[in-house]
Amino acid sequence: MPFGSSFIIGSLLYYQRKAKKMGILKPQKMTIYEFCSQIDLGGIIFFVAGFACFLLPFTIAASLPKGWKTPWVIALIIVGALILIALPFYEKRVAVHPIIPTFYLKNATIVLSCLLIATDSVGFSATHTYLFAWASVAHNMTPTVDSFYVYVNGVMQCFVGIFAGYIMWYTGRYKWLVMFGCVFRLVGYGIMIRLRGQYNSLGELIVQQLIQGAGSGIIQTCLLIPPQVVVPHGQVAQVLALVFSLSFLGSSIGSTIAGAIYTNTMRKALAKALGTDGTSALIESLYNSITGELPAWGSPDRIAINYAYSYVMRNITYAAFGISVPAIIMCFFLPNLELPADKTNPFITRPTMEEEGQNASIKISPNPPREESISNSEKKI
């Protein structure tokens, strides 16, 4: 990651320095208040604190002595919900440079793209949070094979994403491609429910990961494009940052769901599967870590442990399947805008901030005569 990002950072620093030497970029001095206003520090705090307070209790509640009866757990959820409700009002009334302009919240393309990509990330994160542990225990995979198995999804996602981008470029549309990806991913979850057992072959598990990766590759690639079509060029980076934030937020929600199911069901599943052999010390050891001493492969206790892990993983997959169903419904309401054929044409007119909530169609005006374009440029200068 550092090596790959070094090329991007190096290029940005080089051209920033070059722009300063040419006089294009003039250094600006600003106060701390102006800097905080520019980055909308208040909005960031509302956004991060709201989701942190809302999601954290779902993961840690089961590990507390009184569980959900602990008073501050419910209070933290309520506080988080109130902060998130206050966020749009703060962005509209207080923030000078909002990180989430109210126009975004009224635009169907932006809202549905964020929700769809977040939903996909929820399902992926939920099913992969304990995937490594489950494969190690229930299928006795070595760490090397287990790592390859877990990352098959990501490799397939990148591979299919290239073809999805080509199809969008060729057709100029994205809606039905997103629909196909959501259906394909839902089918993958259905197969995953069937294959979350201890007796499935490695080939079956790999094929299921490939199917999941293909669906996710289509969804994650296609949904980055629609929000860029409905905002001015200067806001492309901002709207992409919002989409990626919702994607990462979906991953956090998915991990929270997986953690809540694991903490609430794993001990019970181990106790039920092991029966009289399930001592408290053994159950706690298996619950807290998979690196502890496991019974020999093929022994009755190991089979029981494999069954308990598979039972919990199947419950998590049920949750991912249920979360993915509304995504297909949302696809029907996703505006099917036509992507501009000339991605570099500077005369593309896009919706302005005043056209809130409206998905204006993209119109490419004819290229003006060279003399007129030069004179217009001189006027602007």
Give residue-wise pLDDT tens across range 73-86. Answer: 889 889 999 998 99
**Can you give the pLDDT at residue 317?**
93
Q: Which structure tokens are listed for 271?
A: 């106790």
Q: Is residue 317 part of a domain?
A: yes
How many structural domains are present in the chain?
A: 2
53 lies in the same domain as 159: no
Domain shared by 224 and 256, yes or no: yes
Q: CA angle, 35 as apex, 31 and 39 as ends, to 5°?
A: 170
CA atoms of 249 and 208, how far apart (whole Å): 25
81 and 63 in a single domain? The answer is yes
Task: Give pTM, 2 decimals.
Answer: 0.78
Whether 138 and 69 share a structural domain: no
Radius of gyration (C-alpha) of the chain in whole angstroms = 25
Q: Summarize pLDDT for 11-55 with one digit per residue, the tens.
A: 888 888 888 888 776 777 778 888 888 888 888 999 889 988 888
Q: How far apart are CA 122 and CA 327, in angstroms?
A: 11
**In whole angstroms, how far apart are CA 144 and each of 11, 134, 311, 345?**
35, 14, 24, 48
Buried-exposed string 342-354: b where 16+ CB fall within 10 A, e elsewhere: eeeeeeeebbeee
- Kindly state the DSSP code that residue 16 receives in the 8-state scheme: H
Same domain? For 34 and 167 the reply is no
User: Is 254 in the same domain as 326?
Assistant: yes
Q: Which domain holds residue 247?
A: 101-338
Burial (CB < 10 A; 0-12, 13-18, 19+), residue 31, is exposed
83 and 193 inside one domain: no
For residue 143, the domain's CATH number is 1.20.1250.20
The pLDDT score that the predictor gives to residue 118 is: 92
Q: What is the pLDDT of residues 222-231, one digit of tens each?
A: 999 899 888 8
Query: Which stretches in the chain have pLDDT values below 70?
Result: 1, 25, 62, 290-292, 341-381
Which pLDDT does position 3 carry in this prediction?
A: 78
